[in-house]
Structure 1
Amino acid sequence: MAQIYSNQDNLYGQIKLNGQSQAIFGDTFSTTVFSQPAALSPIPKQHFNVLLPSNPSFVGRSKELGQLTKTLDAGKKVVIAGLGGIGHVTSKSQIAVEYCYRYRQKHPTSYVWWIDAVNTAGIVDAYSDIAKTLHLPILSTENLMREVRKWFSQPENGQWLFVFDNVNDPEAIFQHPIDGQTRSILDYLPHNHLGGQIIITSTTKDAADIANAELIEVDILSTSEARLLIRSYLPQPPDSSTSEDLDMLADTLSCIPLALTQASKYLRQMQKTAKEYLFMLQDGSQKALLLSKHLGSHHHTIFTVLNVSYTTLRHKHKLAFGMLNIVCWLHCVNIPESILRQHCQGDKGMSEVEFDEAILPLMQYSFLGKQRRTSDSDEAVYCIHSLIQEIVKIFQREDGLEDASKIEALRLLEHQTIPLMLKHDWHRLGSWLPHVRSIIQCSNCSILKRHQSRLSLLFLLNTYRLHVLSRTYEAIDHREASLPDLKRLEDISNCVTFLAFCD
């Protein structure tokens, strides 16, 4: 895509600066990229944006669900804390998902908003989507956040449920001011009148104290529950693992659902017994112990289990290994299948059967989970546990694979998203933005900061902010802040170069 942006006669035109340091966009740019939006549709009477599927055989955790329902009905915020597991009923997010579906069944005309809350930028963008859906005014970030809070704090607007998922750094998200403001996200949570409820999921119970919410911990299972969980994944009739072996494995993995799910699926796929797996854990425990310094000793168990599966992928499933190394740099949910297919195919074609065989190990070892498809797309989407992402990143750094994986993720995202921008397909482009933001943030280093694919994605991100979200104030602020760093303003000849300095 580099040639598109280097040509001064291209679609985007030139940026010129007048005496007041104001950017003047060419006619082609303003009329083509920033065309007027379509007429507003009526405000919907209900909304449900939960993409994670409900588990039809959801069992267990009845105590936690009962406590969750009782506390929310009393008008209190709730934090569900725990590591959880991909797609299993013990996952903190899966419990929240199950509650969302039950809430919608009970209140069919309610508003249910699932917000990916890994960072404040994701929450602000989610509020932008909410404001756009409800036709609320967007004049500034402060105005945006205030209007959303105000609308949902009014009883006449009905019943609603907000889920802030993966608030794993609650201090940074809830206590630090939003960029350019004096208030934090916590100041913009809607008031809990009798029609509104707020759920927060996190890997740390500290989130409850910071958010002034009730705490529900879901991490640890009893030994008997852990044994049943492991056994549920093993083939029928069961293998030769004894109850004592399964109990020992459960205790070794501290009865943590994420570790149990990973280990159980590995046992089934590789046809190993619990005793054999325990020996494998001992072999990999030393490396995991050394690596655990990156995230803390609390995650030593997860490191140990993932090390076994990661090593197997690397030696036996090359395509799956490559896909895993890419998705760890993307957003943890709503990962489109098309970007994984593109990585596997390269310049060659790949049949449906071949791709299914390539991605199968990631599903079998519980690295990836499959989500419910969106109502307006037939494309499959996947999710990955955020802790798995962080551990895979550490493995990559230790193996010298980090930069190559980031570059491949940048290239794939550029290939998938730039054509959507050129076609003005803003709706489909919006679903890619969390992944664009994720790779831009994690590639902000001296080696990759000026990579051509990254510059293209920066341009795309700011174009979307200006055109779709009408957040002109952000682009202006970024531009003005960048001007002192520019040495030769007259040489800035295209938007990508200009916006690269705004990062």
Structure 2
Amino acid sequence: MRGARVLDSACRPRRRRSQLAIEHCYRIREQSAETWVFWVHASNAARFEQSYWDIADHLKISGRRNPRVNIFKLVHDWLCDEKKGKWILVLDNVDDASFLLIAQSTGKEDQGNDGDSRNLRPLLAYLPQSQNGSILVTTRTRAAALKLMEESDIIAVLPMEELHALALLEKKLGIQGTSDGTSELVAALEFMPLAIVQAAAYITQRVPRCSVRQYLLEFQKSDREKTSLLYKEAGQLRRDREAKNSIIITWQISFDYICRTKPSAANLLSFMSFFDRQGIPEALVRNRVRLGEYSQHPHRKESRAIRHLRRLFNRNRNSRRDQEGHDRHSKHEDGFEDDLLTLRDYSFVSVAED
């Protein structure tokens, strides 16, 4: 579709890409006040449809009150009318694009066709290809983005640089210049915007009984304290009403989604959690134990995994797999590559050349 772009930030805090899209919209309005800006919540079909109804109501499009109206076609046709002026349409949070690709009923008018599926169209068909406007999509996953447009249209949202992370923390704390512990804190938070905003909200709510240095000491005290602090909500951030302001909850949403859609990838990440987070050898996880098989015996999971690790260490120390063994396990290895790709898409893991 002409003018379509994707902001892809994978598993990094989901609202960073939305904040970038919001800022982009503000700048467009500053440059061209007559340009229409439309925001569509696209996390699922119901919210997508509600956003189209909201657009139709805001524009007061004729025919929107008709009980048999196809609201998607109504908005689509309005956007395709060059007389209406320039516009930008933001599809926010398209983490699962499948609902846009499936042909489905789009209103009561479809119900009078005796179930003729030839009259059903996917929602993607109602995203206009028009010289008059452009479409911006935000998503966590490259896989979802590639279902909607070409690789060349994807704009990856890279991790925040230290200088920008410091500026964000100082702005949220209301301080001028770097104060004691700010550099160490943004580094400990791995320069993640939502985590920085969470920390700043926690500190400002407890001043003077809490400082940046005190927060950092608590954060570094233990994993339990770290998790507790990252569960804290950060207040209103110009965010979707359904979005969570806790980075741990945001992470959990991504992990739960992988558990539902690709359990083997979730099992791989669970198995990798037995290792130090840096430099995990591929050979140790390629033929991993399938932790899901032991879900009914949680107390036995760790001991079996450790025994499995010991066997792998011994096997890899003595010899590498021969070609016959490689062929025998090729199907499993293909599954490993698919699981690894899923985890990389969500930025749960990264891969080094060695």
Q: TM-score range by the shorter chain?
A: 0.5 to 0.7
Per-residue CA distance 1:384-429 (angstroms, 9 max, x = gap): 744649929979xxxxxxxxxxxxxxxxxxxxxxxxxxxxxxxxxx
Alpha-carbon separation, structure 2, partners of 1:209 and 1:387: 28
The correspondence for 2:223, drawn from 261, 282, 285, is 285
**Aligned CA-pair RMSD:** 3.8
| Residue identity opposite 1:199 in structure 2 | L
- Note closer, same or farther for the CA distance 1:252–1:173 as it changes in structure 2 (3 Å cut): farther
Alpha-carbon separation, structure 2, partners of 1:384 and 1:123: 14
**8 Å CA contact retained: 1:79, 1:215:** yes
Alpha-carbon separation, structure 2, partners of 1:370 and 1:148: 25
**1:256 is the counterpart of 2:192:** yes
- Note closer, same or farther for the CA distance 1:305–1:131 as it changes in structure 2 (3 Å cut): same
- Note closer, same or farther for the CA distance 1:105–1:235 as it changes in structure 2 (3 Å cut): closer
Matching residue of 2:172? 233
Alpha-carbon separation, structure 1, partners of 2:121 and 2:148: 14
| Residue identity opposite 1:111 in structure 2 | W
Matching residue of 2:127? 189
1:305, CA displacement in angstroms? 4.2
Matching residue of 2:4? 77
> Normalization by structure 1: what TM-score?
0.39
Aligned residues: 232
1:211, CA displacement in angstroms? 1.5
Residues 216-227 of structure 1: pairs in structure 2 closer than 5 A: 216-218=155-157, 220-227=159-166
Residues 475-486 of structure 1: pairs in structure 2 closer than 5 A: none
- Note closer, same or farther for the CA distance 1:131–1:274 as it changes in structure 2 (3 Å cut): closer
The correspondence for 1:368, drawn from 223, 232, 236, is 236
Alpha-carbon separation, structure 2, partners of 1:268 and 1:238: 16
**8 Å CA contact retained: 2:13, 2:250:** no
> Normalization by structure 2: what TM-score?
0.54
Name the SS of the counterpart of 1:170 in structure 2. Answer: coil
For structure 1, list consecutive stretches of 5 or more residues without a partner in the other structure: 1-71, 289-302, 311-365, 372-381, 396-503
Matching residue of 1:42? none
Matching residue of 1:171? 97
Name the SS of the counterpart of 2:75 in structure 1. Answer: helix
Identity of aligned residues (%): 25
- Note closer, same or farther for the CA distance 1:175–1:386 as it changes in structure 2 (3 Å cut): farther
Per-residue CA distance 1:279-326 (angstroms, 9 max, x = gap): 3224563487xxxxxxxxxxxxxx66432x36xxxxxxxxxxxxxxxx
Residues 253-402 of structure 1: pairs in structure 2 closer than 5 A: 253-271=189-207, 272-283=210-221, 285-286=223-224, 305-307=229-231, 309=232, 366-369=234-237, 383=241, 385-386=243-244, 388=246, 391=249
Alpha-carbon separation, structure 1, partners of 2:68 and 2:56: 12
**8 Å CA contact retained: 2:3, 2:133:** no
1:114, CA displacement in angstroms? 1.5
Per-residue CA distance 1:216-268 (angstroms, 9 max, x = gap): 23352112221232233335477861xxx433322322211111111123233
**8 Å CA contact retained: 1:153, 1:192:** yes
Matching residue of 1:29? none
Residues 31-70 of structure 1: pairs in structure 2 closer than 5 A: none
Alpha-carbon separation, structure 1, partners of 2:30 and 2:225: 47
**1:153 is the counterpart of 2:80:** yes
Residues 348-497 of structure 1: pairs in structure 2 closer than 5 A: 366-369=234-237, 383=241, 385-386=243-244, 388=246, 391=249
